[in-house]
Structure 1
Amino acid sequence: MVAADIKLVLQYLPDLGPLLDGEQSICRLLDAIHNEPCWWVRKTKAAVAVFLEDLRPWSELRADQRPASGAEETFRADVPPVEQADVLPFRCHLCSSGFRLRKHLGAHLARTHKVWSPSRHYTLAEYCHSCHKWYGSASQVAQHLKQSDACLWRLCHLFPPLDDNQIAQVEGEEKSRQRLLKNGHWNAFVGVGQRALFYG
């Protein structure tokens, strides 16, 4: 950790190279701190000042101030041109909407067209009916099914998919509890309990 700090400071203050470069750099640093306790802090602050000075052209460019000479051309050359088709690669199959990220497409399908994730159609209770693991909440089971193809595939063959009313019934208690928590009713919080034990 200290060796990495020394390398970073040397990057901006190369004059310290003869003192802090080499195998004995940490020992020399400790000797310098022993002789003058604030020496390393002062050198670190000086390195930070040099770093911030190097960032000034970029900062001025970002603040729409007059950039340093040649800085604007350098930054523009580094940015690759973006094609319009690549901006919204995920398209809704039910309407003409396009989205930059796949998760935004999923949210659009759920909110606008009521097309739910397949895992929600096979979340039957607080445990997975395929691997029989207890998760304690319907949302945790749905997340498990999103990540476990084998469990979701097995449930597709064992059970018919839930309709919208059944999904609302399975998720209803947890969602109402989350609404209460969001409004500040902390006594509505219920942690994930232990799995039930069955003998026989």
Structure 2
Amino acid sequence: MSTHGHSEQPVVWTVVGTEIGPLLLAATREGLVNVVFHATDAVRDRALGRLAERLGVEPVEAPDSPLLAEAVRQVDAYFAGDRRAFELPLDWSLISGFNRQVLRELASGVPFGAVVGYGDLAERVGQPGAAQAVGAAMGANPLPVVVPCHRVVERDGGIGGFGGGLETKRKLLALEGVLPEPLF
């Protein structure tokens, strides 16, 4: 065995069932790296293929990895209404530049139960007028739910777009008390 084995970044994954459907959680040694909505087998396999390409290593199913086990505990508590903030190490390596800057501001600056407009978030990172770019950053978020892109809405009260689908966004906002529970 090579002594350099630790320089490789093993990528581990598991799927957790939630009220918005199955979520794929993937992590590196650095932290949680990817959360994928609607993780049916086909979606999961595509997502794992993309991760393998981006990170250069084949992801391994490992629900008992300490980081994933903790992530699952926190996700379960969040959906049960017992947790308002995720406290997990995050690996930002799938996103860079402006998108990373915007998502980091979102993660640290927009708490549970709050929402922010696309334009407001652009101003917070010193790019007023970049509302559309903020929308693109939200669409590129590799860590939805944990990095709460569902909390970014349109200034006129519109819900805005969402990678997980608008129904999922509505459910997350209802869970956080921002919207009334969907009736059906």
Q: Return the TM-score normalized by structure 2.
A: 0.23
Q: Return the TM-score normalized by structure 1.
A: 0.22
- Relative contact order (alpha carbons < 8 A, sep ≥ 6): 1 or 2 greater? 2
Which has more strand, going by share of residues?
A: 2
Which has more helix, going by share of residues?
A: 1
Decide which structure has the larger Cα Rg and report it. Answer: 1
